[in-house]
């Protein structure tokens, strides 16, 4: 193992993948790195606790995985009819705050692109997991 903290971040992500939010939270809240904060933000976005998610994304900062994620999001959204909640997906940079707002818009029935956002969230999970895994082992 090259980086134990990244390995723990991957475990947090795996718990999150299977909707074990408490187990994911227990791990991610103890990881001081931007990657730990990113997993923590995703977990709070899924609860949903949108304000807390944004707090953790502020702590994440400009994460290295966001560049690849922006490319994947652009590709997934390229043929979709984007509404005001999902317009951010056309940007060349990843905006985690806009993703939080879009998820909240779906929850409040103010966004017609729920399936697209689910695909984007899956791509986000995969991108962050790949980033952590490549550094952990």
Residue 1: what pLDDT?
86
Question: Each residue of 60-78: pLDDT tens digit?
Answer: 999 999 999 999 999 999 9
Q: Could you tell me which residues come within 8 angstroms of residue 98 by beta carbon, excluding any fewer than 6 positions away?
A: 88
The rounded mean pLDDT for the chain is: 97
Question: Each residue of 18-72: pLDDT tens digit?
Answer: 999 999 999 999 999 999 999 999 999 999 999 999 999 999 999 999 999 999 9
User: Quick one: 47 exposed, middle or buried, by C-beta within 10 A (0-12, 13-18, 19+)?
Assistant: exposed
């Amino acid at each position: 193992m090259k980086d134990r903290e990244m390995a723990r971040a991957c475990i947090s992500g795996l718990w999150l993948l299977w909707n074990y939010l408490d187990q994911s939270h227990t791990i991610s809240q103890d990881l001081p790195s931007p990657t730990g904060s990113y997993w923590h933000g995703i977990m709070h976005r899924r609860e949903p606790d949108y304000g807390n998610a944004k707090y953790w994304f502020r702590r994440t900062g400009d994460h290295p995985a966001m560049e690849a994620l922006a490319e994947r999001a652009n590709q997934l959204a390229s043929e979709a009819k984007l509404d005001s909640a999902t317009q951010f997906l056309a940007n060349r940079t990843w905006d985690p705050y806009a993703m939080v707002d879009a998820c909240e818009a779906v929850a409040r029935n103010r966004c017609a692109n729920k399936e697209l956002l689910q695909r984007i969230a899956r791509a986000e999970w995969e991108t962050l997991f790949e980033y952590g895994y490549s550094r952990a082992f």
